[in-house]
Amino acid sequence: MNRHFDHDVLIIGSGAAGLTLALSLAKSAKVAVLSKSAVNTGSTWFAQGGIAAVLDDEDSIEAHVADTLVAGSGLCHEDAVRFTVERSKSAIKWLIHQGVDFTREQNSDDYHLTQEGGHSHRRIIHSADATGKAVHSTLIEQVQHHPSIEIFEHHVALNLITQADAGSRKLRCTGAYALNRADDHVHVFQAKTVVLATGGASKVYLYTSNPDSASGDGIAMAWRAGCRVANMEFNQFHPTCLYHPKAKSFLMTEALRGEGAYLRLPDGTRFMPKFDERAELAPRDIVARAIDHEIKRLGCDCVYLDISHKSPEFITEHFPTVKARCLEFGIDITRDPIPVVPAAHYTCGGIVVDNNGQTDLENLYAIGETSFTGLHGANRMASNSLLECIVYAQSAAEHIASRLANVPAPQVSPNWDESRVTNSDEDVVISHNWDELRRFMWDYVGIVRTHKRLERATHRIKLLQKEIAEYYSNYKVSGDLIELRNLATVAELIIRSAMERKESRGLHYSLDHPDMSAIARDTILVPTNFAAQDIIVSA
């Protein structure tokens, strides 16, 4: 049975950004949070390294801004970088006030700060090597006990609902349709304001550090609703994911290299010094390309990350999660090097927003990895991602709260129409298309690209989208079908963006255009139903 739910604010996504926003708004609004799976899943939970912030007297806002601008290869928006960094200390204080237990120095009340690739100072505050889990579990506990916040687990958003203002042709977002995995029905969630906090799209690639939920849902829904997206060609490949046939998406935290781990070839030789003077502490795009180059040059399966020269006590204290996980696969990191390969890790592009998280569509916001704020440019610097989640969630909350009383209640939207679809007996099509999509994206639109590879990807995605659209039109929706449809949309946006960039910059490296252009430009894609225009689009 289809149901209608009404709230002041609908937040789609339950990671650090979504839950920070929910807590920041709960005093003044009735809030709904949709979570695709259990609330403690998603990329935030698995984030290991930490949060970059200016907390040390020897560090400075200017230094953090400068480091971020360098890592972003000329494409960061300096106003967005400064906006974020200037709010970093207050964001950390807010997390501590919520109860996050960050690691302290031995025999001291001072917080332990580590250094990661691209940073000129120790500014990464962390909770051992499981910072995401510490942050996420704390926020979950706060949200679950708040009377103004209602959590809907196992609900997958399908499409945004848009309506025209009375007496106006201007569109606004008034909710979303969502599939409840438990009862297999699509329900209507309406609200004065909708926020996309759905994370990135790294599951578009065969090898990724991300959980299964990272299927680009928010980006795809916003694009279909008429919002611009930007810089989708910049997909960060984390250099060091555990390479083991039984390991799935386990990340070797950046902090390992920050604390002195070396990257070695199978014969034990270090190789990063010949690629960059910063060696293992070079930004992620440089390290990932170096590893990719050596793997292809030697024809080996992986390279090795080695921290065994550090004391067992140091390793156990700083990297208990990594040590325990590797031991499950017979790897003792206090003695053995860790086999690693690059894997898709972070979507630097996304839905175009301002410093309040406002998209092109009235009353629709986007925060966290699903958004494009201008902070990351052509390459995200390590540990700026969780910071962005907290800062922009708080900024969006302030903006939403200041306007909410003047936003009219939405009109009642119709139920999701399931009258002309049937149950599928061919779900093998979904699994086959899912696998094909992720394989050709890895082969043709991966760490190193060429025009010919992108042309092949363009051809493949058009065929796949045709099949998916036909399937979507004729059969009842399922969680897998929704995600496949969104991944196909995001794949198209990535391919189109990569085709438009005729240079190599940051995370986009083209053998046909190996040099960086003297002019830095964002790649902005505009949908045919651009929401900022005075047009009406049906829900």
End of a domain among 379, 405, 431? 405
pTM: 0.90
Please, what's the b/e burial string for 75-86 (b: 16 or more CB within 10 A of its CB; e: otherwise)?
bbbeebbbbbbe
Tell whether 32 and 167 lie within a shared domain.
yes
| Beta-carbon contacts of residue 398 (< 8 Å; ≥ 6 apart) | 24, 356
Residue 424 pLDDT: 66
Tell whether 36 and 95 lie within a shared domain.
yes
Contact, 50 vs 255, CB < 8 A?
Answer: yes
Q: Give the mean model confidence (pLDDT) for residues 379-395.
A: 95
Tell whether 399 and 310 lie within a shared domain.
no
| Nearest Cα to Cα of residue 433 among 179, 204, 154 | 204
Task: For residue 424, tell me if it sits in a domain.
Answer: no
Task: For residue 479, tell me if it sits in a domain.
Answer: no
**159 burial type by CB count under 10 A (0-12 exposed, 13-18 middle, 19+ buried):** middle
Tell whether 215 and 244 lie within a shared domain.
no
Residue 168 pLDDT level (bands cut at 50, 70, 90): low
Of 458 and 470, the structure prediction assigns the larger pLDDT to: 458
278-311 pLDDT, tens digit per residue, is 999 988 888 988 998 899 899 898 999 999 999 9
CA distance 151 to 32: 6
| Nearest Cα to Cα of residue 319 among 308, 54, 249 | 308
CA distance 453 to 266: 29
Contact, 110 vs 104, CB < 8 A?
Answer: yes
Residue 531 pLDDT level (bands cut at 50, 70, 90): confident
DSSP secondary structure string for all residues of 239-255: EEEE--TT--S-B--HH
CA distance 391 to 93: 12
Residue 463 pLDDT: 95
Q: For the chain, give the percent of residues with pLDDT over 90.
A: 78
CA distance 196 to 364: 8
End of a domain among 405, 433, 454? 405
CA distance 467 to 361: 29
**482 burial type by CB count under 10 A (0-12 exposed, 13-18 middle, 19+ buried):** buried
Residue 417 pLDDT: 80
Could you tell me the CATH number of the domain that includes residue 69?
Answer: 3.50.50.60
463-482 pLDDT, tens digit per residue, is 999 999 988 888 889 999 99
Tell whether 244 and 124 lie within a shared domain.
no
Could you tell me the CATH number of the domain that includes residue 334?
Answer: 3.90.700.10
- 518 in helix, strand or coil? coil
Tell whether 221 and 82 lie within a shared domain.
yes
Which helix H or strand E contains 188, and what residues bound it? strand 185-196
CA distance 47 to 207: 17
**474 burial type by CB count under 10 A (0-12 exposed, 13-18 middle, 19+ buried):** exposed
392-422 pLDDT, tens digit per residue, is 999 999 999 999 999 999 989 998 887 667 7
End of a domain among 405, 424, 451? 405
Task: For residue 361, tell me if it sits in a domain.
Answer: yes
94-152 pLDDT, tens digit per residue, is 999 999 999 999 888 899 999 887 899 999 999 988 899 999 999 999 999 999 999 99
| Nearest Cα to Cα of residue 20 among 100, 75, 74, 86 | 100
- Residue type present at position 160: L
Residue 533 pLDDT: 53
Tell whether 185 and 295 lie within a shared domain.
no
Task: For residue 329, tell me if it sits in a domain.
Answer: yes
Q: Give the mean model confidence (pLDDT) for residues 447-468.
A: 95
Task: For residue 500, tell me if it sits in a domain.
Answer: no
Contact, 87 vs 393, CB < 8 A?
Answer: no
| Nearest Cα to Cα of residue 71 among 440, 320, 379, 372 | 379
506-527 pLDDT, tens digit per residue, is 999 999 999 999 999 999 999 9
Q: Give the residue ranges of DSSP H helices in 101-180.
A: 131-144
305-345 pLDDT, tens digit per residue, is 999 999 999 999 999 999 999 999 999 999 999 999 999 99
Residue 284 falls in the annotated catalytic set = yes
- 215: tokens are 């299927």
- 386 in helix, strand or coil? helix
User: Above 60 in pLDDT, residue 539?
Assistant: no
| Beta-carbon contacts of residue 492 (< 8 Å; ≥ 6 apart) | 461, 465
- 371: tokens are 């958004």
Question: In this structure, are strands 524-525 and 229-230 parallel, antiparallel, or unpaired?
Answer: antiparallel
Tell whether 363 and 311 lie within a shared domain.
no
Domains in the chain, number: 2
Tell whether 354 and 340 lie within a shared domain.
no
CA distance 62 to 82: 8
Question: In this structure, are strands 31-34 and 149-152 parallel, antiparallel, or unpaired?
Answer: parallel
Task: For residue 247, tell me if it sits in a domain.
Answer: yes
- 281 in helix, strand or coil? helix
Q: For the chain, give the percent of residues with pLDDT over 70.
A: 97
Of 241 and 536, the structure prediction assigns the larger pLDDT to: 241
Tell whether 267 and 356 lie within a shared domain.
no
CA distance 468 to 460: 12
Expressed as residue numbers, the domain containing 68 is 4-233+348-405
Which neighbouring-strand residues pair with 411? none
Task: For residue 248, tell me if it sits in a domain.
Answer: yes
Handedness of CA 343, 348, 349, 353 (dihedral sign): positive
- Read off the DSSP letter of residue 59: -
Task: For residue 109, tell me if it sits in a domain.
Answer: yes
Question: Which range (64-73, 117-126, 246-255, 482-491) has the least confidence?
Answer: 246-255
> Which one from 87, 224, 284, 325 is the annotated catalytic residue?
284
Residue 250 pLDDT level (bands cut at 50, 70, 90): confident
Tell whether 40 and 112 lie within a shared domain.
yes
Average pLDDT, the chain: 92
Indicate the length of the chain as a whole number: 539
User: Above 90 in pLDDT, residue 10?
Assistant: yes
Tell whether 202 and 126 lie within a shared domain.
yes
**524 burial type by CB count under 10 A (0-12 exposed, 13-18 middle, 19+ buried):** middle
Contact, 130 vs 48, CB < 8 A?
Answer: yes
DSSP secondary structure string for all residues of 458-487: HHHHHHHHHHHHHHHHHB---HHHHHHHHH
